[in-house]
Amino acid sequence: ERARERERERDRAGGDRWAIGGENDDLTWRTCRICRTWKPPRTHHCSICNRCVLKMDHHCPWVNRCVGWNNYRYFCLYLMWLSLCCVFVLITFFQSFWHDIVKMDARHPTRNFKNRQYIGLSWILCVAILLSMGILGGFHFYLVLTNQTTIEFQGNITKSAIYRAQGVIRRNPFDLGRTRNFQSVFGKSALWFLPWLSFVQGPTGSGTSFQTLGGVI
């Protein structure tokens, strides 16, 4: 009753109205039209794998499987470690690249042509991979901090625009704050970036229920 009264006061004062989720949000168990079975919230059917995937983010053609509840943190860590490896190669090869490629003296080369090719190709590959992984990794880092999947992100843009046209500011029902959102993917361990250690615990839960701003669903 107090919440309703505060909303009425904001309306009278011309303030913004807020909505947590909406009637079209994926907050309940539903029936998959293809599998003909029950599927939990945030679960989607993958037409390539031909099965429902818990908290599905996307289907990755590079590993030929879906990225979802069971392996999303490994996917994010893969992007992070691959980017760091590229940075390591760029730093390690920087002196050789600068002297043997950029400022090369054709009359007195310090390395033969084949070695210069290796250095130049390594730099080009690492720069290209770092740029692509940086953009993709930055996008998924944003998704982690806002507790969204790629599928939900696309849907939330449309839903937020519809609510905004009605003068209502919509909130993502799964957004619990940056810290809790991060822990829901990587767990609470301080060594979250080393998942192969046996004592590093991942996120708790089964992928069939999630904490929301309105409680557990």
* CA angle 91–93–95, rounded 5-degree value: 90
Residue 60 bears catalytic tag: yes
What residues form DSSP beta bridges with 30? 39
Contact (Cβ atoms closer than 8 angstroms) between residue 130 and residue 76 = no
For the chain, what is the largest distance between any 2 Cα atoms, rounded to a whole number of angstroms?
A: 85
What is the spatial distance between Cα 3 and Cα 191, in angstroms, rounded to a whole number? 40
CB neighbours of residue 120 within 10 Å: 16
What is the spatial distance between Cα 123 and Cα 196, in angstroms, rounded to a whole number? 29
Marked catalytic residue, from 46, 60, 86, 126: 60
3 state SS of 44? strand
What is the spatial distance between Cα 123 and Cα 128, in angstroms, rounded to a whole number? 9
Which tokens in the block code for residue 109? 């080369």
Q: Burial of 50 by CB count in 10 Å (0-12 exposed, 13-18 middle, 19+ buried)? A: exposed
Catalytic (active-site) positions? 60
